[in-house]
Amino acid sequence: MSVPKAGLEPLVDLGAFLEPFGSLVRRSESREAMERYATGLLADLDRKTAAGIGRALPGTNAQRVQEFLTNTAWDSQEMDRLRIEHMLRHASVGDGVVVIDDTGIAKKGKHSVGVGRQYSGTLGRVDNCQVLVTAHYVDRVFDWPVTARLYLPESWATDSDRREKAHVPPELAFQTKGRIGLALLDEARQAGLRPRAVVADAGYGDQPAFLDGLEKRGLAYVVAVGVNTRFRLAEEVAADPGDPSPPAYSGRGRPRKAPSFEERVQPRGAGAILESLPAQRWQIVAWREGTKGPLAKQFVRVRVHRTGARGRHLDSEGWLIGERPLPGRRGDLKYFYAYDLDDTPVAELVDLAHVRWVIERFYQDAKGELGLDDYEGRLWHGLHRHIALVMLAHSFLTLRQTYGPEVTGPDPPEQPEGDDAAPSSLPRGFPPGGSSKRRRPSPTGP
């Protein structure tokens, strides 16, 4: 996404975009502070901190900006809800998916809420950082952030003194990243978002409770899984004859029980299952254009059942998908599990499995251009307000890129046609079940 730099003077179209969000605060001074903070996130500043924005922008100061971020009464979750509703009307062509992921923010010290030595995929190591779990909407034309929440490590969740100092809500208990992801999906659905599927990496795909939660909610999904994640082949499950009679009693010792289903049909790791498939079942699939041409690898899929704790059989049946480099090329083998997408062609499943790159680009834009990782406060609500405002600024840029700078308020004009249309950043053939030809949204939605 190309992020245009805002000037230090008020932006007319930003004011129109922010108008529906003015209802979050009571005073006109607070609405002005909201506009100043959003303008500061869009401005060409080295650091998008409250102090930096207050010093650089006319019409405000560091104290006013900080007051809006930490002391003014307004709800960051309500801002997300209003923004999701707005974006669904103006930046969605339907059949989209939600990507669940997390990103690390490097921090020094030990007082910033949620900070600690923990693994960050963004940093690629264990380091002192905060971790945000995020949800991101992606369809054939648009993509934009949905909502986010800080992951609170157990060392924080069980420390009442640190919680009180950081204003962590008292009702908030420890939650895994998967549980947080499910909560974000619930909030998004309450705001009207109806994703075709959910996409996540192996950090979530290897959490059975997360997948159970998706299935309980009736959500299809494609998730990466580890090489040793165990499945049962669907054909072996179907061929099982049922409970056999127990072995004949010999008259000595305790009578032997008949083997259970779990003992009769043994689960195997994803890698072992796919390695046993014949070579001719693998096919070449290209999913999008890269910097050096089409991205293509070999793929195969097979019907399987998930397993629970200690090999317990689950009714969850779907596609186990394998990915490997083309012959003669180097690269890692990858594995995915797709649920409730039974009739989806393999090429479209590949598109879905690889749509996560869009959220990685969002992280780059949000950190590099909009100051996502510049918050210097220590409070729970201050951090989440900053995140909500960053997502608000990013959504503004999404609409601006599509409709131009004229109007981004309640009723944007129809998306420009032909060569003037905003380029799609999404994979070829996305989303599953839809045409790869881009549609243009009407001024009031799909």
CA dist., res. 101 & res. 360, Å (int):
9
Q: What is the pLDDT of residue 411?
A: 61
Q: What is the DSSP string of 69-85?
A: HHTS---HHHHHHHHHH
As given in the structure block, the two tokens for residue 260 are 């259970």
pLDDT at 364 over 80: yes
**Confidence category of residue 202, pLDDT binned at 50, 70, 90:** very high
**Confidence category of residue 431, pLDDT binned at 50, 70, 90:** very low
pLDDT at 421 over 50: no
CA dist., res. 174 & res. 295, Å (int):
40
**Confidence category of residue 388, pLDDT binned at 50, 70, 90:** very high
Q: What is the DSSP string of 309-360?
A: GGG-EEEEEEEEEEEEPPTT-----EEEEEES-TTS-HHHHHHHHTTTHHHH
Mean pLDDT within 403-410:
63
Structural domain boundaries of the chain?
12-201+359-420, 226-238+263-353
Q: What is the DSSP string of 149-179?
A: EE---HHHHT-HHHHHHHT--TT-----HHH
Better-scored residue on pLDDT, 407 or 182: 182
- pLDDT tens string 53-89: 999 898 899 999 999 999 999 999 999 999 999 999 9
pLDDT at 39 over 80: yes
Q: What is the pLDDT of residue 244?
A: 66
pTM of the model: 0.87
Q: What is the pLDDT of residue 443?
A: 31
The average confidence (pLDDT) of the chain is: 87
Tally the C-alpha atoms within 13 A of residue 416's C-alpha that lie toward its C-beta.
Answer: 16
Q: At what angle do helices 62-70 and 28-42 cross, to 10 degrees?
A: 110
pLDDT at 239 over 50: yes
Whether 215 and 194 have beta carbons less than 8 Å apart is answered as no
**Confidence category of residue 438, pLDDT binned at 50, 70, 90:** very low
Q: What is the pLDDT of residue 146?
A: 98
pLDDT at 444 over 50: no
pLDDT at 347 over 50: yes
**Confidence category of residue 34, pLDDT binned at 50, 70, 90:** very high
